[in-house]
Amino acid sequence: MPRFAERVAGWRSSLADLERWLLPGACLLCEAPVAEREGDALVCGLCRSRWRSIPGPLCDRCGQPGFAGLECRICSGWPPHLRRVRSAVWLEEAARRAVHRLKYDGWWRVADAMVRTMGALEPLTGRVCLIPVPLGAARARERGYNQSERIATALGALTGAPVRCDVLHRVRETRTQTALAPEARQANLAGAFACAGAAGLTAVLVDDVFTTGATLGSAAAALAAAGAETVDGITFARAMEPMAG
C-alpha cells in the first residue's frame, strides 16, 4: 500500500493527463484545429496575433494613447490613490471573444494565453503583489469563479509575483456598470470594497477589461485606506473608446 503522499501525487498526475485529454482540439476563439499545443494553450497563434497591443506614447497615468503632453480626459478626474493603469491589448473582436470565453463560458483556462500579453506591463516591474478585483459573492457563485482571480493566478505563475486574494473584498453588490454614465459609475461603486492587511503593499490590481477606471479607482481607495504603499492597475484589454471616469 503506497504512502498517502505518493498516492496523492499519483492522482495528481492522472488528473493532469485526464485534463489534457479533455482539452478541446480546436482553438477556443476561432475553432481552427490546434495542431501543436504551445504548452496547454487553448488559443491558436493566429488569434493571439490578432490581439493588438496598445501603441505609445501613453498617458503616464491611465495608459491611454494619444494624450502625451495634454490634459487627459480619461484620468484627470481620478481619485488620487490610483497611481497608474496599463492594459495589454485593445478590446477588439479577438480580445473580446477571449474575455467572453473567460467570463461567461466557463473557459477560465483561456487566461493562460491572455496573460502572455501582460507580462511586460510597466506596473509589474519590481516587487509587487497582484490583487484581483473581487466579484460580489452572488456573482461569484453564479459564475463559479472570479475571472480577475484567474487572470491574476495565471499571471503570478508566469511572472513569479505573489497573488493575494485575501486582502480586498467586495462588500456590496453593485449594479452592472455597463449601462451607466461615468458619474453614475462612481456613485454605484462608493463603499463597494473593504480591505484589510494591505499595510506596506506595493499593490497591482488585476482586472479583465479597462473601461473608465471607476472600479480600479474605488478598489485603490480601499487599499490605500488600509495602508497600501502604492496602487497600480493592469488589465488584459482596454475599451477602444474608454469613457472619462
Contact characters 14-33, Zn ion, x per CB under 5 A: -------------x-xx---
Per CB under 5 A, does 62 bind Zn ion? yes
| Selection from 206, 245, 30, 221 nearest residue 121 by Cα | 206
C-beta of 225: minimal distance to Zn ion in Å? Answer: 23
Contact 83, 232 (CB under 8 A): yes
Judged by CB, which is closer to Zn ion: 25, or 144? 25
Give the residue with the Cβ less far from Zn ion, 97 or 103.
Answer: 97
d(C-alpha 217, C-alpha 89), whole Å: 20
| Residue 74 interacts with Zn ion (CB under 5 A): yes or no | yes
**Closer residue to Zn ion (CB): 77 or 136:** 77
Q: Decide if residue 75 touches Zn ion (CB under 5 A).
A: yes
- By CB under 5 A, tell whether 42 contacts Zn ion: no
Q: Exactly one of 38, 52, 54, 61 binds Zn ion (CB under 5 A); which one?
A: 61
From the list 5-13, 70-78, 120-128, 169-177, the region that binds Zn ion by CB under 5 A is 70-78
Q: In angstroms, rounded to a whole number, what is the distance separating the alpha carbons of residues 87 and 66?
A: 15
Stretch that binds Zn ion, among 43-51, 106-114, 145-153, 207-215 (CB under 5 A): 43-51
Is residue 102 at the binding interface for Zn ion, with CB under 5 A as the rule?
no
- Cβ proximity to Zn ion, 82 vs 135, nearer residue: 82
Nearer to Zn ion, 29 or 128 (CB): 29
Told to check if 58 binds Zn ion by CB under 5 A, we report: no
- Judged by beta carbon, residue 201 or residue 219, the one nearer Zn ion is 219
We find the least distance from the C-beta atom of residue 29 to Zn ion, in angstroms, to be 5
DSSP letter for each residue of the chain: ---HHHHHHHHHHHHHHHHHHHS-SB-TTT--B-SS-STT--S-HHHHHTSPBPPSSB-TTT--BT-TTS--TTTTT--TT--EEEEEEE--HHHHHHHHHHHHSS-TTHHHHHGGGTTT-GGGSSS-EEEEPPPPHHHHHHHSS-HHHHHHHHHHHHH---B-SSSEEE-S----STT--HHHHHHHHTT-EEE-S-TT-EEEEEEEEESSSHHHHHHHHHHHHTT-SEEEEEEEEE-SSPPP-
Can you tell me which of 42, 44, 131, 154 binds Zn ion, judged by CB under 5 A? 44
Cell of 176: 452592472
| 82 makes contact with Zn ion (CB under 5 A) | no
**Contacting residues toward Zn ion, per CB under 5 A:** 27, 29-30, 44, 47, 59, 61-62, 72, 74-75
